[in-house]
Structure 1
């Protein structure tokens, strides 16, 4: 397995574990913590995509000297 894929998978496991642990500590519910641990990374992925698009647009505007 290539290193970048292995690192991505181990980071995903770490992220899910932390998300689940924090949600469980706050709610005391396994079901709710599991739902949060699954949904939160999906929302973050969409937010990251939109964030990258905003930075790309800002870079284009800066290169064109548009305010």
Structure 2
């Protein structure tokens, strides 16, 4: 993968993360006090963290 393609891919990932953060910041409500929402929130955070780590590893591998 050429340098330009890697930069384009990273830019798309960063833009997607910015959109996710914007949506997360705009969602009203608080899950505290609701154990089911807290558990789902933690599960989703874990899934997202794992996927970001996978993307990071893939980008590092491609850059080698």
TM-score interval w.r.t. the shorter chain? 0.3 to 0.5
Q: Which of 1 and 2 has higher RCO (CA within 8 Å, sep 6+)?
A: 2
Which has the higher Rg, Structure 1 or Structure 2? 1
TM-score of the superposed pair, with normalisation by structure 2: 0.47
